[in-house]
Chains A and B, each alone.
Chain A
Amino acid sequence: MNSFVIAAMLLVLLGLAYQTGWSRSRAVAQSSGQRLHSRPIYHGVWVALWVVIPAALIMGLWALFGPGVADQFARSQIPAEIAAGLEPGQIVNAVSRIKAIASGFGIIGEPQPFEAEAARALSQFQLYGFLIVILAAAIIGIGALLYARGRIVPGLRARNQVERVITLLLLACSGVAILTTVGIVASLLVEAIRFFTFINPLDFFFGTVWNPRFSTTGTGAEGDYGLIPLLWGTIMVATIAMLFAVPVGLMAAIYLSQYAHPRVRNVVKPLIEILAGIPTIVYGFFALVTVGPFLSGLGATVGLDIRATSAATAGLVMGIMIIPFISSLSDDILRQVPQSLRDGSLGLGATQSETIRRVILPAALPGIVGAFLLAVSRAIGETMIVVLAAGNSPVLRFNPFEPTSTVTVTIVNQLTGDSDFAGPQSLVAFALGLTLFVLTLILNVAALTIVRRFREQYD
């Protein structure tokens, strides 16, 4: 309700401001006989901006600090003699009970008289606060409107100023993405640091045993949190996936971009891209039900002991999953190589495959390396396939035909079920997440460096 009122008010104010600016500028132009620097619509937008920015600022401040102020108020409403008899924790509890009553949600048990009293006061305070803020925003908005209206002269560079505000708006939007990243990293970092108060970082990063015992009581039962087996599992699965996906994906891209008739390409490329649209959980049970038993049977015929759920199974299916990434991206990159280079090579009597190997692939290499590293990031972060197909066995093994586990799978395991985020059992997930983040970050930086170096050489 409240937000509706605010939104409606803002809209009315905005429309009013726009209309004012628009008509005022025309009137000014007419009466002075001068030509306007900016067209009336820019004057309209200019006045509207003048109105909306201070009003939004006040609303924003209220949204930011209002709850804190209300909290303080509720606390002050608890009678001093009662507050004196309460522990700090109980006071916090009482405040949240008061707020719950005031908001009309109700609480468990009967409200005590002082709570009901305080809640009434609080809801009144909130109503007045809200009205005051709305009023203040409206007054300032209208004031700004009148001020801006008075400043309209034919020479006003409304167009340029609106442009500048738009630039700032765009900047703010790109800032959102960056701030989100910073926020995620910060929250990961904070929780990870809490984890490291339980477990020595050296034991975490260099430990070779992963065995977090699930016990919430007792001090000696914390278990081992060695990262190495998980990291090794991740690297092994991702490597198998890339070993499979890179040659297949790249060759598919070469065929599509260099050899395929346009009609063939128009059919085949979307078909390959369908692979990218399959949910990874579906790949997961494809691995579990089909690929795993197949590999196991294949191993039996050649005398190899291959488990149905193993690093190889997960890696292979993950490879299938990332083929479309590699082929589709590489295809686009290969097609961007200028026709003139192709002609130049063919004109010298090179065959098509010589042209591809010696001219087109080198020219496209930076982009292709970028595509590979994107695919690696994808493989490292992939979860569902590995959950189902890798056997979930966080033991350091070097045989790809035996079960393994990865960082992502372990995060899932540690966070599912009853987790209270107080013990290392669940906090370790953040440390693992951070490790994963740093790993992909390093890969991305490496990708950028490689791409830049090749670009210098080739442009």
Chain B
Amino acid sequence: MTTAAATHTHRDDVGSRMGMWLFLFTELILFGGLFIVYAVYRFKFPEQFQLAARELDTLVGTVNTIILLTSSLTVAMSITAIQQGKKHLSMMLIGITIIFALAFLVNKYFEWSHKISIGIYPQSPELLNKPPGEILYFGLYYVMTGLHALHVIIGMVVLAFSMVFIATGKINQQSYVKLEAGGLYWHLVDIIWIFLFPLFYLIS
């Protein structure tokens, strides 16, 4: 053996999955910190949060929720496909997932730019004139959906790599734990949105 890496040849899918789950815990707690901040300020300014939430378009939020939920379905299907050895189907399903993710981001882009065009962004004169609860609401809106969007982008990169690995045979019918990990990450992105959506869009 020339390097220590070469000695590491054992395979333990349970352990790999365990590592991924632990990582997902840390992600949940990362957002958990933000949810604490949200809870504290909403408790402090309930009316102003409600008022501010009226600025958001529930329709756009709903469409994005449907998009993300469906994309979780396609990524789960791609795992089933690879388990059955259907390589091309699996790749296609991941492709569809990535397209859904793109659609989500495009929606988000239009939503944000609409807000910015009507003068609602951090430190804008328009926003600074509003009561503190609304400033905090929009601050949290940008931070939380922004951080979530960052996770969507990371998830897309992870899925794109999984697609390449399927093409090169690194992920195959016998060994698909990497795709499972990517899928788990994608479900995490989904589940965080499931909480963001009601907290920001449905409280008006």
Report whether chain A binds chain B.
no
